[in-house]
Structures are given as structure tokens and as C-alpha cells.
Chain A
Amino acid sequence: DIQMTQSPSSLSASVGDRVTITCRASQTISSSLNWYQHKPGKAPKVLIYFASSLQSGVPSRFSGSGSGTDFTLTISSLQPEDFATYYCQQSYSTPRTFGQGTKVEIK
């Protein structure tokens, strides 16, 4: 199985801050990397697919980059509705493993 490691596990930030979350794969996954936002009581929502493609309807303050084994999700200016847990997932091979999650909290 491909292991996905996110960092940090949690972070505190203020509205307007630039936030960066990283995800590392245990082996190369090309650009087969997705980012999800998950809020309590809701289904996860895809933000970014194929490492850097913005899902339709997702605000442009979200962006993704990387290829191979190292990937980044950036929120350029954190908004109140962005406080949530974020997960990366590789779709290179099955099982389609997720990172352990990064909880973004209000400072």
C-alpha cells in the first residue's frame, strides 16, 4: 500500500492568513493526488484533483501543487468557512489511501 503522510496534524490560523498543508507519498504517484475538505456531520468535498486542478465551484483561494511524492495545498486567504479538516488522497493505485488529516482551527 502507498502511505500518505500529512503535516501538520493540526494548525491554528486567523482569518486572512495564508495556510499551507503538505502531503508526502511513500512512493511516486505522479500527479494522482486529491485534496478534500471535511466538516463535522457533512460528506467530504473534493477541492483539488490531479494535484493542481481546481474542482468546479471551489473558490480560487484554494490551490494545489506538486508531483511525484511531495504535494502542497495552499489557502491564500483563510475565510471563516474554511475551518475544517483537510485530507489528501492518492488515486494512483488501490487501495486509494488517505493522509491522516490536518485540522485547521481558529486562532
Chain B
Amino acid sequence: QLQLQESGPGLVKPSETLSLTCNVSGGSISSSNYYWGWIRQPPGKGLDWIGSIHYTGSTYYNPSLKSRVTISVDTSKNQFSLKLNSVTAADTAVYYCARATSGGPNDYWGQGTLVTVSS
């Protein structure tokens, strides 16, 4: 059974960089059929797609965040990562990592991790 688990600091200061890692177990991240992505949910709001990566390194970002976001993959560790720089309080959210099929849904998700931006 595929499992995804987010890890990283739960508190980040304004103007600093938010860094999260998603560890994938029970399957290989190096599959041509899947993309690995990040989705967030600010408190009281809906789901916001951040971006995704293929194991080959091809990345796709939400234009609303593109200037601040980097998603990378480490196939040797079977994990992928999110970096969001110059954060503000508006970046406070539960961050989920998830697998997506090509042209299809996000079918496996991590449990989510709350990241709060505050001094």
C-alpha cells in the first residue's frame, strides 16, 4: 500500500523559506505513470494546487506562486520536496503531498502538515 508522509517545520518566520519533504513508501517514485505534487488548504478556505514534479525532473507550478516555489525530487531517497520562499501569513496552511496520475486525479495523499507563518 502506497503511503506518503510530509515532514518539516510547523512554524516559519515571515520572509523566510518554507521547506517540506514528502517521503514515499510502499512504491517507487521513479514511475513514468505518476506525478508527485503539493496542495495546500489555508484555514477556513478551499484547496489550492501548488505544483507537481515527474521523477525525470519536469516541474509544473501554479503561476500564482511560480516566482516563489521550487519542487524537487530525490529518487535515491524516494522523496520529493517543496520550497516556498519569502513567506507571509497568507502562506499559513495545511500542506499535503499527493500522487497524481497522468491526466487523472490525486489518488494517494499524505495526512497533511500545518505550517504557520508567524514571528
Contact of A91 among B48, B51, B100 (CB under 8 A): B100
Q: Is the CB of B111 within 8 A of A94?
A: no
Q: Cβ of B64: which chain A residues have Cβ within 8 Å of it?
A: 95
Interface residues on A, range: 20 to 34
Given contacts A34-B104, A46-B107, A55-B107, contact A95 B63 (CB under 8 A): yes
Interface residues on B, range: 20 to 34
Q: Cβ of B62: which chain A residues have Cβ within 8 Å of it?
A: 94-95
Q: Is the CB of B46 within 8 A of A99?
A: yes
Q: Is the CB of A46 within 8 A of B47?
A: no
Identify whether the interface residues of A are mostly helix, strand, loop, or mixed: loop
Work out how many contacts link A and B, with CB atoms closer than 8 A: 68
Q: Is the CB of A44 within 8 A of B104?
A: no
Tell yes or no: A62 within 8 A of B by CB: no
Tell yes or no: A87 within 8 A of B by CB: yes
Tell yes or no: B52 within 8 A of A by CB: yes
Tell yes or no: A89 within 8 A of B by CB: yes
Contact of B106 among A42, A44, A95 (CB under 8 A): A44
Q: Is the CB of A96 within 8 A of B100?
A: yes
Known: A44-B109, A94-B61, A95-B64. 6 other contacts (CB 8 A): A32-B104, A42-B111, A43-B112, A49-B104, A89-B49, A95-B60
Interface of B toward A, CB cutoff 8 Å:
46-49, 51-52, 60-64, 96, 98, 100-101, 103-107, 109-112
